[in-house]
Amino acid sequence: MTAPSLTDLGLDPQAMLKALYKARASGALEVEYQDAGVQRRVRYRSDSDLAAAIAALEGKLAADAGGSSVNIVNIRSSKGWT
């Protein structure tokens, strides 16, 4: 028997992931997001806990999608010619 997906549990994984990314980028340890009409708030102890939550959620999303991986694209630009 497989574990239910996040959406099967009534959770919005994309909203969760977006809130986690936003919090980590701003240096905040408290994440707040709207999920299924409910305001949710989670406070993490450290940045490494927040990073672990992001990794776990990305892994869960990849597993729910049939094992496909998440692609990360880094874009760099500069002003003028280098």
Which CATH code, of 3.30.70, 1.10.1740, 3.30.1580, 3.30.2030, is assigned to 13-63?
Answer: 3.30.1580
The 10s digit of each residue's pLDDT in 71-80 is 677 777 777 6
Q: Is-contact 44 31, C-beta < 8 A?
A: yes
pLDDT digits (tens, 9 = 90+) for 8-59: 666 778 888 888 999 999 999 998 887 777 788 889 999 999 999 999 888 8
What CA–CA distance (Å, rounded) separates 22 from 4? 26
The answer to whether the beta carbons of residues 54 and 21 sit under 8 Å apart is: yes
In this prediction the pTM is 0.65
Domains of the chain, residue spans: 13-63
